[in-house]
Amino acid sequence: MTCTTSLSIYSTLSPPSISRANTCSSSSCSSSSSSFSSSVPVFVALRTKPTCPFVRGTRFSYFEGPKRVRKKTNFGIKAKDMTITEIRPEEEEEYPPLLDPENNSRPRRIALFVEPSPFAYGNLRFSGIWAVMISAFGLPFLGSQALLRYVSGYKNRFQNFIRYLREMGDEVMVVTTHEGVPEEFYGAKLIGSRSFPCPLYQKVPLSLALSPRIISEVARFKPDIIHASSPGIMASTLFLLPVFGALIIAKLLCVPIVMSYHTHVPVYIPRYTFSWLVRPMWLVIKFLHRAADLTLVPSAAIQKDLQAERVAADNKIRLWNKGVDSESFHPRFRSHEMRIRLSNGEPEKPLIVHVGRIGVEKSLDFLKSVMDSLPEARIAFIGDGPYREELEKLFSGMPAVFTGMLGGEELSQAYASGDVFVMPSESETLGLVVLEAMSSGIPVVGARAGGVPDIIPPDQEGKIGYLYNPGDLEDCLSKLKPLLYNHELRETMGIAARQEMEKYDWKAATRIIRNEQYNAAIWFWRKKRAQMLRPVQWLIKLISPSSSQVSYR
C-alpha cells in the first residue's frame, strides 16, 4: 500500500528545516524526514489525502524568514520510494496567439445558422401542425398565410459576411428560417427550415433547425466550424431555438461552434413582457454561450455587459468589427424625387430620417415629442415592423411619412436625401443603420446608449455626429436644431462623417473573423477536447507507458 500526499512547494532564499507532525505507524508506508534532501526548498501548510488508512494527516512546518514567493506547483509524493512527480495544475485559459491572416488563408467549410433570415421573404403558408400552433398561440388573425418581413440592421452584416467569405475561397452553407429562401447567395448554399411566427413578435419566423433533413445536410457538408447568430427573444426562449439546434448539431458532429450576439435581449424583455423574466433569460444566455467556443459581439458596450454578467470567460467574448458598404451608401445617391416622396411633397422643409425595424423597443415614440417641438420639420420612417400600425396612429395628423421596406438604390437614396438621421433607440447592440447614414453623408443625432457611442466616440462628438442623453428632450433638441437650420454645419459634419466611415470595410472585418476569431475558436475547442480526453490518455499511459501524450497546444 502506498501513501500519496499532495504538497505545495515554494522557493525560499534559504531552505528551512522540515519536521513531521504526524507519522504513519504502518510499516507499508513508513518514511522518515531524512528522505527529503535539501534540494527541496520548503513545504508549507499542507493538506494530505493519503490512500493509507492508518495515516490521519501529515503536516510540514517551516521557519519564518525572508522568502521570495513563486508560482505554486502541485506535486505528488509516493511514500514508497519518496520520488516526486509533477501533476499538471488546472491552468487558466490563455489568450491564443493571433495568427497572421496571410498565412492562414486555407479555405474552410463554414456552416452558418442565421435567424431570422437575412434574405427577403415571400408569402408563408402554414398548414397542419403549424396552423394548430398559430391558433394555440392566439394568433388567428394571421390565418393560414402571412407575409413575414423582418427588417434589421444585422441583415446587411450577414449578407456582406457571406459574400466576402465566398470571395476568400470558403465553402459556405447557410441554414436559416423560412423554406422560401433562394437556393444560393454568392455561391453559398442556402437551406430553409420550416418556420412559425413568434407569438409576441409576429413578423419574426422561428425554427428549431434540428430536423433530420437539416442534420443530414450539415453532416454531408462536413463543416470545419459552425457559426450561429443569437438575436434572442422578447418573452421566451423560443427565439433561441435555432441556437439550440446549431449547438446540438455542433456537438453531434464534433466541430467548433461560434455564437454571435446581435440583440440585447434582457433590455427588450421589460418592453414586451414581464421584468422578472430578465434573470431567467440571462441564465439561458449563459448556458448557450458557455457551451460555445467563442462569442462575438458587435460593440464594446455589449462586450462589457456580457463580461459583467459572466456569460463566458472574458477572452472568449470578442468584438466583431464594424463595417459598412461605403459604395452602396454614398452621398451621390441624393435624389430630389426621393426627397419629395419622403417630405410628402415639401422638399424645402427640414427633413429628419429614420431607417430600421419599427419595434416598440426602438423608442420611436420619443420622436413624437421631438416633432411637436419642430412644427416646420418633416420626418420619414423607412422600414417595417410590429409597431408600425401603432406608430402611424401616434403620428396621425403630423407631417410624417411611412415608406415601408426599401432596398437597393431606393434605400441608398432615402438615406442620402435626408438632412439629419435620428436614432432614439437605447438598446442598439451596434446600430448599423447609423453607420449607413453616416456613410451616406448625413449627420447623426443618437441616444447615448448601447453601441452608438462606439460609433461616435467622445473625441469625435460634435465633429461626425451628436449624442444626447436618452429620453432627454431638451438635450436632443439642442443638438438637432442647429443641424436642421444651419446648412453649412450640416454639410461640414456630413462630409466628416463620410470620411470617418470610409475607414470601415466589410472585407477587412470579415478577414479578421475568418483568420483570427475562427482560429481562436478552433484553439479553444481543441483545448477543451484535450481536457476531456485526459482521463482516457491517463489510462492509455498507465496501460502502455510508451504511449505519447497528445498535445493540445
CA distance 534 to 531: 5
331-501 folds as Rossmann fold (3.40.50)
Four-way CATH pick for 108-319: 3.40.50.2000, 3.40.1180.10, 3.90.1150.10, 3.80.10.10: 3.40.50.2000
Question: Per-residue pLDDT for 357 more than 50?
Answer: yes
Model confidence, pTM: 0.66
- Given a cut of 50, whether residue 64 has pLDDT beyond it is no
Exposed, middle or buried: residue 414 (CB in 10 Å: 0-12, 13-18, 19+)? buried
Q: Lowest-pLDDT range, 116-120, 361-365, 466-470, 478-482? A: 116-120
Residue with cell 472585418: 509
Chain region(s) in the chain for CATH 3.40.50.2000 = 108-319, 331-501
Reported as type and span, the H/E element at residue 540 is: helix 518-543
pLDDT at res. 184? 87
Cell numbers at residue 312, please?
A: 463566458
Q: What is the mean pLDDT of the segment spanning 368-378?
A: 95
The Cα 478–Cα 466 span in angstroms is 10
Residue 262 burial class via C-beta count within 10 angstroms: exposed 0-12, middle 13-18, buried 19 and up: buried
The residues near 540 (Cβ < 8 Å, ≥ 6 apart) are 547
Q: Which amino acid is at 67?
A: K
Q: How many CA atoms lie within 13 A of 494 on its CB side?
A: 24
What confidence score (pLDDT) does residue 197 get? Answer: 56
**Mean of pLDDT values over 289-317:** 91
Measured CA to CA, the distance from residue 412 to residue 393 in angstroms comes to 27
Bond before 116 cis per omega within 30 degrees: yes
What does the alpha-carbon distance between residue 166 and residue 189 come to, in Å, rounded to a whole number?
11
- pLDDT reading at 544 higher than 80: no
- Please state, in angstroms and rounded to a whole number, the distance separating the CA atoms of residues 366 and 115: 29
pLDDT for the residue 521:
94
**pLDDT tens track for 46-63:** 444 444 444 444 444 444
> Any bridge partners for residue 43, and if so which?
9
- pLDDT value at residue 103: 57
Q: What is the pLDDT of residue 212?
A: 84
Residue 535, pLDDT score:
79
The predicted model gives 68-79 an average pLDDT of 48
Amino acid letter, residue 97 = P
Q: Which of 426, 448, 553, 423 is nearest to 91 (CA)?
A: 553
Give the confidence band of 268 by pLDDT, cuts at 50, 70, 90.
confident
The 3-state DSSP class for residue 13 equals coil
Q: How many CB atoms lie within 10 A of CB 107?
A: 11
Q: What whole-number distance in Å separates Cα of residue 29 and Cα of residue 23?
A: 9
**Cross-strand partners of 226:** 111, 257
Pinpoint the alpha helices (H) of 83-211.
Answer: 129-136, 154-167
Q: What is the mean pLDDT of residues 165-193?
A: 86
Percent of the chain with pLDDT over 90: 42
Phi and psi for 282 in degrees, rounded to 5? -60, -40
Give the strand pairing for 201-206 and 196-198: antiparallel
Phi, psi of 542 (to 5 degrees): -65, -40
Which ranges constitute the DSSP H helices of 292-324? 300-308
Contacts of 416 by beta carbon, 8 Å cutoff, 6+ apart: 329, 330, 331, 332, 333, 334, 335, 440, 441, 442
DSSP track, 464-507: TEEEE-TT-HHHHHHHHHHHHH-HHHHHHHHHHHHHHHTT--HH
Half-sphere exposure of 286 toward its Cβ, with a 13 Å CA cutoff? 13
Instruction: Give pLDDT, residue 81.
Output: 45
pLDDT in tens, 79-126: 444 443 343 434 445 555 555 555 556 889 999 988 766 665 444 333
The reported pLDDT for the residue numbered 419 is 97
* Residue 399: C-alpha distances to residues 349, 372, 477 (Å): 10, 10, 18
Pair type for strands 317-319 and 294-297? parallel
Strand partners, 355: 382
- What's residue 479's pLDDT? 96
